[in-house]
Amino acid sequence: MNEKQMSQICLIIIIIGIVLFIISYENEFQEKNISELIENEGSKGVVFGRVQHIIKNDSVTLFILTDGNEATVYHPKQIEIAINDFLIVHCESQSYNGKIELIAHRIEKA
Amino acid sequence: MILLFLFAGILTGTITGLIPGLHSNNVAIILAPLSFFGETALVFVLSMIITQSFVDFIPAVFFAAPETSTFEGVLPGHRMFLQGKGFEAITLTVFGGIIAIPIGILCLPVFNLFLEINKDRFIVIIPIVLIVTIIILSFSEKSKAKVLLTLFVLFASATQGYFFTDQIFPLIAGYFGVATIIHSAKNPPSIKLQEISAQIKNNYVIDSLQGILGGAIVSIIPGIGSNVAAAIIKTFKQKINPKNYLVLVGSINTSNLFFSFPVLFILNKARNGGMILLNDKMFFTNQSFVLGIIIMLTSCGFGALITLAIAKKVSSFHFDSKKIGSIVIIFLVISVFAFNGVIGLVALFFSTATGLFVTIHKIKRSSCLGALIVPALFYYLFILV
């Protein structure tokens, strides 16, 4: 094998990788509402809602988000939010003490 | 959108690979506080580290400027460069890398199972392997005087490894980079015109497979890097052709990074800066695991092509060994100061002195690996006791 044949192998690897990517990839976070996430434990999505109550905002942030339905949102960092703020939350639903909570990966103010 | 992060990762990996001292770990530290998360972080980090694992060899081979992940390839690679075969040396490391990921993917279930079952045994086996390596390193010299000198270098480098904790780059730059350049300054080597062609023999696949095994084992075991694994394999094999060795080093380097991802996913153990960042930035699902493997496969193709293209371009330059030597030394000193501070410069001074001692007395350069092997040995002995 010479370096030209090796370059061709590299191109084949790239094409295989991109084809596999196109076939297998689906966007991790699609717009959903809170009830959809709560009903399917382990599902991910982007929810839009209002901060109803802040339970804790120290080293971690724990608050209740509502979009008609409500859910407890846990974020492993302290963030600046206030009651009645509108937020866009990228999150995943997980069970904690028998109750479904939303684990926030990212929180943005709307 | 996600493809943008793939190309950004490849570009960053190319830059970090070309600049000795700048590692993807540095980029990971910069990215840690940013709101950069999930799949975008996964795609960026994996494409960056895989691309870097290929490009890394360019400064090592052409300028004798070692990285913490490529120093074992400096001497054989740079020697080939002096003979006008720098491009071939790079092609061999690239070959090791492009075999590593596709074969690594095919072997992933078996490797994971094997490593999962044997991970406790490694804790016992590794110190034995390290002790045997030290013994072989020490007593492979023919004369008694050289054995004594090797023992002295092992002791000196081990002391430096202990004293200068977290200063691996300055130590490696001194042993394998600055010392070589200073020593060759008296009689600067004539650099032959670079040939831009390479021939890959079928038997190199065996070296690559050995590299995959070494990389997989190293990825699960803390305290040992891919270069130490390469040095151990070289020590046990005694005589290995430099070309086969370059394939081996290329394969270990890439497969070590490749397997560190499943190790993080399955065992939740991060073995490098990129994986520590991912551990912090995302929740792992089966979908993200598959995405990660596909991204590493794609980046491997891009990284290999970019490396070959840059190597071809660099090969067409006219090299003046005196000028290159001075520029590389200045660059290494600046890099060490920028990334490791004053203590790094002190470590560089001592490691250069040790490297020069080794070169002048013509003993094996791998005895300087005492700086990595002995602290790793004590780490394992401490766990066992």
- Please write the tens of the pLDDT for every residue from A25-71: 776 677 888 888 888 888 888 889 999 999 888 888 899 999 888 89
Give B72's pLDDT tier (boundaries 50, 70, 90).
low
Residue B352 token pair: 């250069």
pLDDT value at A15 more than 70: yes
Q: CB of B94 within 8 A of CB of B307?
A: yes
Domain extent listing, chain A: 34-109
pLDDT score, position B224: 66
- Output the DSSP codes for A8-64: HHHHHHHHHHHHHHHHH---S--B--HHHHHHSTT-EEEEEEEEEEEEEESSSEEEE
Interface-testing mutation among B286, B298, B312, with chain A (most A C-beta atoms within 10 A): B298
As a whole number of angstroms, the distance between CA B372 and CA B95 comes to 27
Q: Is the dihedral of CA B239, B304, B273, B110 positive or negative?
A: negative
Burial, B210: exposed, middle or buried (Cβ in 10 Å; 0-12, 13-18, 19+)? buried
Calculate mean pLDDT across residues B64-74. 64
Q: Comparing B129 with A87, which gets the higher pLDDT? A: A87
Of all residues in chain B, the one with the smallest CA distance to A12 is B301
Nearest by CB to A24, from B98, B197, B294: name it: B294
Nearest by CB to A3, from B38, B91, B283: name it: B91
Q: With beta carbons under 8 A apart, name residues in chain A contacting B295.
A: 17, 21
pLDDT score, position A16: 93
- Among B96-110, B157-171, B271-285, B324-338, name the one with the lowest average pLDDT: B271-285
**Touching check for B106 and chain A: CB below 8 Å?**
no
As a whole number of angstroms, the distance between CA B168 and CA B188 comes to 28
How far is residue A47 from each of residues A34, A68, A105, A108, measured CA to CA in Å?
6, 12, 12, 11
B39/A92 CB distance under 8 A: no
> How many residues are present in chain A?
110
Size of interface A-B (CB pairs under 8 A): 85
Q: Which helix (H) or strand (E) holds B315?
A: helix B286-315
pLDDT score, position B11: 94
pLDDT score, position A78: 81
As a whole number of angstroms, the distance between CA B149 and CA B153 comes to 6
As a whole number of angstroms, the distance between CA A20 and CA B297 comes to 10
Give B35's pLDDT tier (boundaries 50, 70, 90).
low
pLDDT score, position B36: 65
Q: Is the dihedral of CA B4, B8, B10, B11 positive or negative?
A: positive
CB < 8 Å from A in window 14-53 of B:
35, 37-39
Q: Is the CATH number of domain A34-109 2.40.50.140?
A: yes
> What pTM does this model have?
0.77
pLDDT score, position B62: 83
As a whole number of angstroms, the distance between CA B378 and CA B176 comes to 24
Q: Comparing B354 with B140, which gets the higher pLDDT? A: B354
As a whole number of angstroms, the distance between CA B162 and CA B345 comes to 16
Q: Look over chain B and give the mean of its residue pLDDT values, rounded to a whole number.
A: 82
Phi, psi of B195 (to 5 degrees): -90, 135
